[in-house]
Amino acid sequence: MDKIIIEGGNTRLSGQVTIEGAKNAVLPLLAATILAEEGKTTLTNVPILSDVYTMNNVVRGLDVDVAFDEANNQVTVDATGDILDVAPYEYVSKMRASIVVLGPLLARKGHAVVSMPGGCTIGSRPIDLHLKGLEALGAEITQTGGDITATADKLKGTTIYMDFPSVGATQNLMMAATLAEGTTIIENAAREPEIVDLAVLLNKMGAKVRGAGTETLTIVGVDSLHGVEHDVVQDRIEAGTFMVAAAMTSGDVLVKNAIWEHNRPLISKLMEMGVEVTEEENGIRVKSDVAKLKPVTVKTLPHPGFPTDMQAQFTALMAVVSGESTMIETVFENRFQHLEEMRRMGLRSEIMRDTAVIHGGEHLQGAPVMSTDLRASAALILAGMVADGVTTVSKLNHLDRGYYKFHEKLQALGATIRRVSEEG
């Protein structure tokens, strides 16, 4: 397994960085291609990430033709044949996000078998809201031998109130409802930009989805959907990660083709700290002087609240800002593991259930650290840039799930960083 070695100290990032298509958009978009009974679907601006390869294999395992043209960042899917209704355990078990094939597969085939996703390091990740919603649409759900089997001759539109605005459950139910009989209303739906991107694709395919981006979705069922072309929305979390990297290194970075609207909760917190964030015609510019930044309190919430996927990275920024900052993680129950690792770098913090108090501004020291999940990996690398001495981050399989050429992009901005194989 590779590791990343960072020489910290006085890194000041400057220049421009380009953002990829969003991991958390392309995965459900790939699942949605299953719905097209005629014509091929081509997704462009597809990021080269290990999770994309995994989802391609999940869809391919349904006897669907999936061609990934990495050189042009595009995937073409032909689901026009008589596709299978059992998602391949080998790949589904690798990535819990595969669960979003359940809704479209059930809608297309009237029967679907998908293995039950396990938990992960950041939380137990139940799927009760997915299953409850599909049952409300008339599906019969059984769970045997670690598999979920869903059956429904024809899903029937209904009104579903979601106990929690789950992103994945909203996506599963929205996709299932596109081919249901009648109208489905999903209340307390997730509002993330990735939900909007999925609705745009579905409507291009011939679906009738209204209200995406608000807490109420209305989906009028249609008979069939067809293949289209669609450009994956920019990755707001990758963009946010580089915005935080610039802020914590007293940098001056233009995050190219980042979308201001998608990052408003993060931008508002950065500005509250004293970071200069400006909207330019081709992206978002971030300038800061760490010495002048003030500590803040942040609470993660479903969109349009502060994104939980920026929590770890933001705690690295809090670590360099003098004073006591507070991070409250309300979305996942175990998402502070990066702080345990940063303790090895000298960070003082107290964690009480969903709240972490961070004593920032005391110099971090470089150390060997281990990443526990995707965003923790990014946070530890960012911390390594500002720590005195050398930091080595291992277990990079997590990082490769959600960031493309992360260390090269940081290197191009001025970080002293390299990636070596464990042996090296």
Does position 212 bind ligand EPZ by CB under 6 A? no
Which strands form 14-18's sheet, in the order they lie side by side? 14-18, 252-256, 283-287, 276-280
Q: Given 84, 86, 120, 328, which residue is catalytic?
A: 120
Q: How far is the CB of 299 from ligand EPZ (least distance, A)?
A: 14
Rule CB under 6 A: choose which of 5, 11, 20, 24 binds ligand EPZ. Answer: 24
List the end-to-end C-alpha distance of the chain, in Å, as a whole number: 10
User: Active-site residue 120, yes or no?
Assistant: yes
User: Residues within the annotated binding site?
Assistant: 23-24, 96, 125-129, 309, 331
Q: Rounded distance, CA 101 to CA 87, Å?
A: 8
Number of residues that bind ligand EPZ (CB under 6 A): 23
Residue 298 as a binder of ligand EPZ (CB under 6 A): the answer is no
State which residue, 100 or 415, has the beta carbon closest to ligand EPZ.
100
For the bound state, the minimum distance from the C-beta of residue 166 to ligand EPZ, rounded and expressed in Å, comes to 3
Single out the residue of 331, 393, 399, 413 in contact with ligand EPZ (rule: CB under 6 A). Answer: 331
* Shortest Å, Cβ 80 to ligand EPZ: 26
Using CB under 6 A, which of 37, 197, 238, 309 touches ligand EPZ? 309
Q: Which residues contact 104 (CB under 8 A, 6 or more apart)?
A: 31, 32, 34, 35, 175, 176
**Which 120-139 positions form the footprint of ligand EPZ (CB under 6 A)?**
123, 125-130
SS3 readout for the chain: CEEEEEECCCCCCEEEEECCECHHHHHHHHHHHHHEEECCEEEECCCCCHHHHHHHHHHHCCCCEEEEEHHHCEEEEECCCCCCCECCHHHHCCCHHHHHHHHHHHHHHCEEEEECCCCECCECCCCHHHHHHHHHCCCEEEEECCEEEEECCCCECCEEECCCCCHHHHHHHHHHHCCCECEEEEECCCCCHHHHHHHHHHHHCCCEEECECECEEEEECCCCEECCEEECCECHHHHHHHHHHHHHCCCEEEEECCCHHHHHHHHHHHHHHCCEEEEECCEEEEECCHHHCCCCEEEECCCCCECHHHHHHHHHHHHHCCEEEEEECCCCCCCCHHHHHHHCCCCEEEEECCEEEEEECCCCECCEEECCCHHHHHHHHHHHHHCECEEEEECCHHHHHHCCCHHHHHHHCCCEEEEEECCC
Rounded Cα–Cα distance for residues 291 and 278 (Å)? 20
Going by the annotation, the residues of the binding site for UDP-N-acetyl-alpha-D-glucosamine are 96, 125-129, 309, 331
Nearer to ligand EPZ, 267 or 290 (CB): 267
Quick one: 95 or 320, whose CB is closer to ligand EPZ? 95
Question: If binding is defined by CB under 6 A, does position 327 make contact with ligand EPZ?
Answer: no
Nearer to ligand EPZ, 171 or 288 (CB): 171
| Range in contact with ligand EPZ (rule: CB under 6 A) among 1-9, 84-92, 166-174, 350-358 | 166-174
| Residue with Cβ nearer ligand EPZ (52 or 62) | 52
Toward ligand EPZ, which CB reaches closer, 68 or 332? Answer: 332
Q: Is 382 in the site for ligand EPZ (CB under 6 A)?
A: no
> Please, which of residues 79-118 interact with ligand EPZ by CB under 6 A?
97
Least distance (Å) from ligand EPZ to the CB of residue 123? 5
> Which residue, 364 or 399, is less far from ligand EPZ as judged by CB?
399
The residue range among 22-30, 63-71, 143-151, 414-422 that interacts with ligand EPZ, by the rule CB under 6 A, is 22-30
| Binding flags for ligand EPZ, 387-406, as an x/- string (CB under 6 A) | ---------------x----
To ligand EPZ, the closest distance from the beta carbon of 306 in angstroms equals: 11
Rounded to a whole number of angstroms, the minimum distance from the CB of residue 128 to ligand EPZ is 5
Residues of the shown chain interacting with ligand EPZ in the complex, contacts defined by CB under 6 A = 23-24, 27, 97, 123, 125-130, 164, 166-169, 308-309, 331-332, 374-375, 402
Question: What amino acid positions are annotated as catalytic residues?
Answer: 120
